[in-house]
Amino acid sequence: MGVLRSRRGLAYSEFERRMWKIHINLESRMHALPARYKKHVCDKVYEPMNKAYSALIIADEQKGSAQAAKDKRQKCFRAAIHYLTQMEKPLMCFFNIRGISADGANEIEKALNLEIALIFGAAGWDKEEKPVIHILHKEKFKRLAFLGKMSELHRYTFQKTAHAPNDCFDALSTRIDDYATNALYAVVMANIKPPETRAEAEARDAWIKDAIDNLNAMQRPMVGLWNIMQYSERVMDEWAGMIDEEIRILTGLRDADRKRYSGLK
């Protein structure tokens, strides 16, 4: 095994080597997350990350000029890009729960987008548009009320579901977590850049609507978790109040956006 390990090290391509570094970096950061959060947060990062890494290892093993090897290499590159982009949402969740600094978030975002660029170069996809992974760090959440409030609500939600019993993990906790993360992700995506065209304004509006829909959907499974966990009325009023406030802010933002961007073409 020592020989094989040595040979593996010599066989690294740049895209495989950098993916390994991303894996090590994120694994060390997730290791520091409190244990009660790990099954709620880390598994959803590990799954696409491990699949992307595996696809790149297989792609790197396809040597020679045979068409079958070339086709398999291309297929593996496509799979790797798919799984890398799937990391975006769970990473936003993890970084919000963990409170990653601006430097840490920028480091991971830059590494992932460089990895995508390396894969596109190795695959020869010069004329295709590369996907871009966005990660919003905690400093940016403080600048806008709807981002800051959503960030707080997301963390508060995971604080509650992290203590729920295992037997309601899939039925209730995971559903609530997913709705909260979907809402966080939608709010972040709505704020990536100010719209410059009507199509971009419509896309922003669709993201904000998606956030509102997910926040509304949270409330039903929350009642189920409340019945199991026997939360106090004070806790439920605080939790539901945070949801209602975020919905109110986002609804007002949609109304303001319609006026603000009405002149775009």
**pLDDT tens digits for 160-214?**
888 877 766 667 888 999 999 999 999 999 988 889 999 999 999 999 999 999 9
Expressed as residue numbers, the domain containing 173 is: 142-260
Examine the pLDDT at 139 and tell me if it is beyond 90: no
Q: What mean pLDDT do residues 79-85 have? A: 97
> How many other C-beta atoms are found inside a 10 Å radius of the C-beta of residue 72?
15
Is 128 domain-assigned? no
Contacts of 212 (CB under 8 A, 6+ apart): 183, 247, 250, 251
Same domain, residue pair 147 and 116 = no
Same domain, residue pair 103 and 200 = no
Same domain, residue pair 112 and 154 = no
Give the Cα separation of 177 and 172 in Å (integer).
Answer: 9
Task: Point out the domain boundary residue: 123, 158, 190.
Answer: 123
- Kindly report the average pLDDT of the chain as a whole number: 88
Secondary structure of residue 66 in the 3-state scheme:
coil
What is the tens place of the pLDDT at every residue in 61-72? 887 778 999 999
Same domain, residue pair 86 and 33 = yes
Task: Point out the domain boundary residue: 123, 151, 168.
Answer: 123
Is 189 domain-assigned? yes
Is 3 domain-assigned? no
Q: What mean pLDDT do residues 209-221 have? A: 94
The amino acid at 120: F
Examine the pLDDT at 1 and tell me if it is beyond 80: no
Q: What mean pLDDT do residues 60-84 have? A: 91
Confidence band of 10 (pLDDT split at 50, 70, 90)? very low
Same domain, residue pair 173 and 113 = no
Same domain, residue pair 20 and 100 = yes
Examine the pLDDT at 218 and tell me if it is beyond 70: yes
**How much of the chain, in percent, has pLDDT values that exceed 90?**
57
**Per-residue confidence (pLDDT) for residue 168, from 0 to 100:** 66
If one counts the domains in the chain, the total is 2
Is 61 domain-assigned? yes
With CA atoms as reference, report the closest residue to 26 among 69, 79, 90: 90
Give the DSSP letter string of 199-251. Answer: HHHHHHHHHHHHHHHHHHHHHHHHHHHHHHHT--HHHHHHHHHHHHHHHHHHH
**Per-residue confidence (pLDDT) for residue 120, from 0 to 100:** 95
Q: Are 246 and 182 in contact (CB under 8 A)?
A: no
Give the Cα separation of 157 and 40 in Å (integer).
Answer: 11
Same domain, residue pair 149 and 255 = yes
Q: Which of 83-92, 117-126, 140-149 has the lowest mean pLDDT?
A: 140-149
What is the tens place of the pLDDT at every residue in 90-123? 999 998 988 777 788 889 999 999 999 999 999 9
Is 27 domain-assigned? yes
Same domain, residue pair 43 and 73 = yes
**Per-residue confidence (pLDDT) for residue 217, from 0 to 100:** 95
Give the Cα separation of 248 and 109 in Å (integer).
Answer: 31
Same domain, residue pair 219 and 180 = yes
Q: Are 147 and 57 in contact (CB under 8 A)?
A: no
Same domain, residue pair 88 and 147 = no
Read off the CATH number of the domain in which 182 is found.
1.20.1440.60
Q: Which of 50-54, 165-169, 190-194, 220-224 has the lowest mean pLDDT?
A: 165-169
Task: Point out the domain boundary residue: 95, 123, 151.
Answer: 123
Same domain, residue pair 176 and 110 = no
